Structure formats: structure tokens, C-alpha cells
């Protein structure tokens, strides 16, 4: 490809390209690239060529219309030792078969049936907090979403395994970020400190997943699969393994899918809940309007799925929270064949980067884009907003399979917790995000728990 025909972009290091810029502040770097060079920005990460794509029309082309010309990009492959060929990382016919197998568990009726479970877990978590006590808000939201994912998707309770999952997940996220930012990436068998932590995390998680599968298999066998009325994702996977000659489901594939469901099934929702609660604590006038709506629609009773269509302002708050802090801050693809995007020829094997963080904060699509303003989500605004100027769960055939469950869980959890509990921020300044596999808080989010009456008296 001629240098004169490639998109513009910043000058990188002569060897490392733009890897050093990622280490400094990835989100700020992507934002600066779009603002200074436009919707198509040429980047290089050592020997890997990439283009940052930021226009909604081009995003639609990559993720929707021409999606079969793209695979997942190189960075997500760093998760292969953990997730194997699970739904997040698999490609082609394997991905299509597995998606079709699991999709019924995420249909509307099935997802809405989880409503009472979500409310019950949110109530238990809320009631465990000591009045006036200090909690790590993000850690508590992870505890909630892990419990829901384990019960709803896998049909199990984590109980004493919660710390194992959280510790292992943090090690994996740190390993992923380090490898994305590194010039040299030693294979996992090299005993570096980072690799040792990663290998321990993989071992601990695999042991947990294999135990869950074994116990569910034994329970299913003792009850007789014909009498097993559970329809969670793991039940479908176990049934597919039992008919492996037709489904192609091996023991390894079963483990990979189960691991993916547990890890991906809670992380983004926990992040959304954390950022939303923080934003409400920063904007008490918005929080007051949420509370007024909850009082009007619910009174003193807990929420139900049937209440959600009437909680219109809460829905706007969640939309705005995921605009400013999208649960996935970027999507990566890799071109299979030469193609053209945004008027530029893109060679095969080029990595295409699409950042929700950048697009969701673009002043062309949003007035005062850095402000937290739920009222911006009017029907008129949504009508004129380009379709792919807002895509917190991705887009196209590989849109997050659990997006409907995540949205339902976030709304019901907030509607359960907020009427009786407020959070006093103990960390000064804004909440700094940490872009790794997902967008999560960079540090512990320390808050003091207060009963709602005390909050209203402030």
C-alpha cells in the first residue's frame, strides 16, 4: 500500500511505533488521535499495523455489513490461555454453532425470568452492609454480579470461591494489559513474575470450572437428564456434550465455554453499576430524580421486571453512564482480505480498532460530550443520533450475547439498592478508569454506606 494512500497518523517511535503511547494513557491517546487526525488514523505497534476507525458509517461497515471479512484482533488472543475457544474468542463455523446453541438461554422470556434472582441477590448484598461502614464499591458490585452469573448462567453458588475468582481475574487483567503494552512478550512457560501469576490464575480458575462441571454432571446423572428441568447455559452445554457426535462439543470446549460465561458474564455489569453509582453520588440532583421516580413507581416494594418500562429516567441514567464509561472501551478486528474503509485501502492482516470511549465522547454526536446529562436522551436526540455513534455492547452478529441480561441486571440492582442506601465518596476527585479487557475503575472505590434518610438530610 502506498504511504500516500494510507490514513494520516501521529509519528511513532522508529522501532516500537505507538506502543509507548499506550503505556501513558491509552484512552487519552485514542481520543487525541481522532481529534487531531480524523476518523481514520494509521498506527503501528512494533510490526503490527493498525487503523483507528471512529466514524459511525465505517463502524457499521466493519462490525455489521462486512463482518465476515474480519476476525478478532491480536490483543484478545492474549486471553486464549484462559478462555480457549469459548464464545468470545472462537471464529467461523465453531462460533456460529456455539452462538446458536447458547442463544435460547438469552432470549427475552428466559432473561426476564432471572428478575427475582437479581432482586434477591441485590437485597442480600444491600442488607450485608453496615450502616456508616466503608466498602469498596466496585468489589461489592463484582460480588453481586458474580453471584447472579453463577446462579443464572451456571446454576451454581460460588460461596467460598468468590475470592478465588476475583484474585484470579485481577491477575489475568493485569497480565493482559502488560502484554498489550509490552515490546517483548515472553511465552507463558518463561517463569517471569507476571507469567507465574497468570499461570496460577489459570490453574485456580480451571480447577474451579472443572469442579463445577463435574458436580453439575453428577447431579444431572443422578436425577436423570430427562428430568432435569433447568435451562441455564451450562445445562445446554452439558446436553450438547452428551450428544458430542452431533454437536462436536468436547470436554475442552465445554470448559472453555463455561469459563467464558462466568468471567464475561459479570465483569461489564459490575463496572456499569460502579460507574453509575459514582456518577449519581457526584450529581445529587440527578440522584434525587431517580429516587423520586422509584418512589412514585414502586413505593416501598422491591422492583420487578414489569416495572422497568415505567422507570424511564433510570433508563436514561444507565444510557448516559454507559456512554461516558462504556463497559467495553474498544473493539478490535483484523482484516482477512484487502478492503476499503473510509475511502482508504486497508491491507489484509491490518488491525482495525474501534473505540466506544472515543465515539461516545465525540462532540459531533453529543452536545457537551464530557458532561453527565441523562436528559440528553430524548426521543428526538435518539432519532437523529447515527446508529453506531452509541454501541456500548458492540454491534453486528458478535454483539454481546448477554447484553439484555446485563441491562436488566443493572436496572433491577439499582432500583433495589438506591431507595434505602446512599454512598458517600471517600476518594477525592474523578473516578479514574482502567482500560484493560473491559473498562473498570483503576483503584478501589471507597465509599461510606449511609441510610437514605441521612443522605436526604445532607
Report the distance separating Cα 62 and Cα 66, nearest Å: 5
Helices and strands, counts by H and E, the chain? 18, 12
- The pLDDT of residue 63: 96
Domains of the chain are 3-456 (1.10.630.10)
- Radius of gyration of the chain measured on its C-alpha atoms: 22
Q: Residues 359-364: contacts with CB within 8 Å, 24+ apart?
A: 359/54, 359/56, 359/59, 359/388, 359/389, 359/390, 359/391, 360/323, 360/324, 360/326, 360/389, 360/390, 360/392, 361/31, 361/323, 361/324, 362/34, 362/54, 362/389
Please compute, for residue 223, the number of CA atoms within 13 A of its CA located in the half-sphere on the CB side: 13
Structural element, H or E, at residue 101? helix 92-102
Which residues in the chain land under pLDDT 70?
A: 1-4, 183-184, 223-231, 244-248, 453-458
Do the bridges between strand 48-53 and strand 351-354 make them parallel or antiparallel, or are there none, so unpaired? parallel
The C-alpha angle 332, 338, 342, rounded to 5 degrees, equals 65
Do the bridges between strand 331-335 and strand 351-354 make them parallel or antiparallel, or are there none, so unpaired? antiparallel
- E strands, 190-252, where? none
Helix (H, G, I), strand (E, B) or coil at 421: strand
Length of the chain: 458
Contact between 53 and 353 under an 8 Å Cβ cutoff? The reply is: yes
Report the distance separating Cα 167 and Cα 160, nearest Å: 13
- The pLDDT of residue 46: 86
Contact between 314 and 307 under an 8 Å Cβ cutoff? The reply is: no
Structural element, H or E, at residue 72? strand 70-72
pLDDT digits (tens, 9 = 90+) for 127-181: 999 988 999 999 999 999 999 999 998 888 887 888 888 888 888 888 877 777 7
pLDDT digits (tens, 9 = 90+) for 209-245: 999 998 888 887 776 655 556 668 888 888 888 876 6
Helix (H, G, I), strand (E, B) or coil at 301: coil
Helices 251-282 and 403-417: crossing angle in degrees, nearest 10, is: 40
Report the distance separating Cα 161 and Cα 165, nearest Å: 6
- The pLDDT of residue 228: 57
Contact between 128 and 143 under an 8 Å Cβ cutoff? The reply is: no
pTM for this prediction? 0.92
Which residues have CB under 8 Å from 447's CB, separation 6+? 134, 135, 137, 277, 281, 423, 424, 425, 426
Burial of 234-266, coded b for 16+ CB within 10 Å and e otherwise, reads bbbbbbbbeeeeebebeeebbbbbbbbbbbbbb
Question: CA end-to-end span of the chain, whole Å?
Answer: 63
Amino acid at each position: 500500500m502506498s504511504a500516500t494512500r494510507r490514513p494520516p497518523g501521529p509519528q511513532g517511535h522508529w522501532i516500537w511505533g505507538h506502543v509507548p503511547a499506550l503505556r501513558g494513557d491509552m484512552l487519552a491517546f485514542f481520543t487525541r488521535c481522532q481529534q487531531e487526525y480524523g476518523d481514520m488514523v494509521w498506527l503501528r505497534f512494533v510490526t503490527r499495523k493498525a487503523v483507528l476507525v471512529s466514524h459511525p458509517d465505517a463502524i457499521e461497515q466493519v462490525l455489521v455489513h462486512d463482518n465476515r471479512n474480519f476476525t478478532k484482533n491480536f490483543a484478545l488472543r492474549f486471553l486464549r490461555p484462559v478462555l480457549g475457544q469459548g464464545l468470545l474468542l472462537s471464529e467461523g463455523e465453531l462460533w456460529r454453532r456455539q452462538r446458536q446453541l447458547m442463544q435460547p438461554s438469552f432470549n427475552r422470556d428466559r432473561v426476564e425470568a432471572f428478575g427475582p434472582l437479581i432482586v434477591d441477590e441485590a437485597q442480600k448484598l444491600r442488607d450485608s452492609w453496615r450502616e456508616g461502614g466503608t466498602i469498596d464499591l466496585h468489589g461489592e458490585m463484582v460480588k453481586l454480579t458474580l453471584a447472579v452469573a453463577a446462579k443464572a448462567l451456571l446454576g451454581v453458588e460460588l460461596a467460598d470461591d468468590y475470592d478465588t475468582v476475583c484474585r484470579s481475574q485481577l491477575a489475568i487483567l493485569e497480565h493482559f494489559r502488560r502484554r498489550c503494552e509490552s515490546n517483548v512478550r515472553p511465552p507463558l512457560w518463561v517463569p517471569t513474575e507476571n507469567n507465574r501469576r497468570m499461570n496460577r490464575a489459570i490453574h485456580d480458575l480451571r480447577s474451579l470450572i472443572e469442579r463445577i462441571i463435574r458436580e453439575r454432571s453428577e447431579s444431572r446423572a443422578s436425577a436423570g437428564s430427562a428430568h432435569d428441568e433447568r435451562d441455564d447455559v451450562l445445562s445446554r452445554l452439558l446436553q450438547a456434550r452428551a450428544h458430542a457426535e452431533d454437536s462436536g462439543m468436547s470436554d475442552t470446549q465445554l470448559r472453555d465455554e463455561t469459563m467464558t460465561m462466568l468471567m464475561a458474564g459479570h465483569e461489564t455489569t459490575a463496572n456499569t453499576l460502579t460507574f453509575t453509582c459514582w456518577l449519581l453520588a457526584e450529581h445529587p440532583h440527578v440522584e434525587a430524580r431517580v429516587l423520586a421516580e422509584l418512589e412514585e413507581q414502586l413505593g416501598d416494594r422491591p422492583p420487578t421486571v414489569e416495572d422497568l418500562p415505567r422507570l424511564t429516567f433510570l433508563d436514561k441514567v444507565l444510557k448516559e453512564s454507559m456512554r461516558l464509561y462504556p463497559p467495553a472501551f474498544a473493539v478490535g478486528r483484523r482484516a482477512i482480505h484487502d478492503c476499503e474503509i473510509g475511502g482508504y485501502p486497508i491491507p489484509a492482516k491490518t488491525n482495525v480498532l474501534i473505540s466506544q470511549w472515543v465515539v461516545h465522547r465525540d462532540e459531533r454526536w453529543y452536545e457537551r460530550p464530557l458532561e453527565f446529562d441523562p436528559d440528553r436522551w430524548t426521543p428526538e436526540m435518539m432519532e437523529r443520533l447515527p446508529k453506531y455513534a452509541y454501541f456500548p455492547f458492540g454491534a453486528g452478529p458478535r454483539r454481546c450475547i448477554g447484553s439484555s441480561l446485563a441491562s436488566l441486571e443493572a436496572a433491577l440492582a439499582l432500583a433495589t439498592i438506591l431507595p434505602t442506601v446512599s454512598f458517600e465518596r471517600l476518594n477525592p476527585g474523578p473516578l479514574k478508569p482502567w482500560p484493560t479487557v473491559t473498562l473498570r475503575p483503576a483503584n478501589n472505590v471507597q465509599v461510606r454506606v449511609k441510610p437514605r434518610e441521612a443522605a436526604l438530610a445532607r
